[in-house]
Amino acid sequence: MEKLYIIKIGGNIVDNPVLLTECLTAFSKLKGQAILVHGGGKLATQMATSMGVEQTMVDGRRITDETTLKIVTMVYAGAINKNIVAQLQSLGVNAMGLTGADGNLIYAHKRIDSAIDYGFVGDVDGINTELVKQLLSSSIKLVVAPITHDGNGQLLNTNADTIAQSIATGMAKQYEVHLIYGFEREGVLSDVNNPDSIIAFIDRPAYGTLKEQKVIFEGMIPKIDNAYLALEGGVQSVIIGKAEKMNQLINGTAGTTIKI
């Protein structure tokens, strides 16, 4: 079965031109099929602030009202996505930037939560796996922005970690899928102030303990929750680590490996 790498990069990579270039250079050298999913970074928040639009985050997730949805769509699907695509083209990678609405790539529904109104935030319902396979077979590497749609004309802001997991899980029957969450740190750390305190492996019991101890918190929680959904859905491996060390992450010589 052919290998497929799903690489997700976070906002701290997107925000740092040097780290982004290093990451995209590593991505350009990957052999085989690969999809890059990116987060939003600080640009949307900065633009919202300049427009006087208040931003609210809950557990690392953005509350998305109508105005904020317009901002994140412009920033994520526009400026960030196309900048990444252009950089990959300069590195000799034939890349195509997509949102969930393009080609009906990712269909979702507006999140319903009895405790919190997240606004126009989407939870993924499915992936157009045939479209993904068709594009990959044409030697095109996909760059996916964290915007989905509900099939009724409504765009939705959707967590990029979840999108990466959903694509990985959706393609697991057709490819040997490896999911990598790349960010600015070496991996999941036992001490956030010590870059050498990498936790090499995390299984479910350890995850529960680390959450209780507040070693794992905020934005790392949805990453690891999605890692387990991916593994349960047939994905071969999930690793979290430094985005620009992509080859080492693929080889299992860096980062944190998530295990059942």
Closest residue by Cα to residue 28 from 84, 88, 80: 88
Domains of the chain, first to last: 3-258 (3.40.1160.10)
Distance CA 169, CA 156 (A): 20
Which is nearest to 44 in space by CA: 58, 31, 26, 56? 56
pLDDT per residue rounded down to tens, the chain (260 residues): 999 999 999 989 999 999 999 999 999 999 889 999 999 888 888 888 899 888 887 766 778 999 999 999 999 999 999 999 999 999 999 999 999 999 999 999 999 987 889 999 999 999 999 999 999 999 999 999 999 999 999 999 999 999 999 999 999 999 999 999 999 899 999 998 999 999 999 999 999 999 999 999 888 898 999 999 999 999 999 999 999 898 899 888 999 999 98
Tell me the C-alpha distance between 86 and 257, whole Å.
31
Tell me if 68 sits within 8 A of 55, measured CB to CB: yes
DSSP 75: I
